[in-house]
Homo-oligomer: A and B are copies of this chain.
Amino acid sequence: MKRLDALGFLAGTLTTIAFLPQVIHAYRTRKTDDISMAMLVIFGSGVGVWLIYGLLIRSQPIIVANSTTLFLVLIILGIKLRGYKHPL
């Protein structure tokens, strides 16, 4: 593996695993009020486009990182959407 790829994988690993403590936090507390819904939706969309970009420039770090990040962001979004049912 090239050194550059290794750096990209380090970056991707950090920005990806970062959402794990957030998933755990949201799952445990069931509280996501302070997390902006607009942030989750726009960020998730952006990560999806990064994934397409990574596929087109064939950058493995970008592909792996963004597909995993998208998965974790969707879990957080799911927990937040479940929370939205409570006031009904």
Q: What residues of chain A have their CB less than 8 Å away from a CB belonging to chain B? A: 4, 7-8, 10-19, 21-22, 24-26, 29, 31-36, 38-40, 42-43, 45-47, 49-50, 52-53, 56-57, 61
Contacts and interface: CB of A to CB of B under 8 A. Distances in A.
5 contacts: A7-B53, A11-B50, A13-B46, A17-B42, A35-B35
A21 B34 contact: no
A47 B4 contact: no
As for how many copies of this chain the complex holds, the number is 2
A21 B36 contact: yes
Nearest to A57: B4
A49 B4 contact: no
Given A34-B29, A38-B21, A11 B56 contact: no
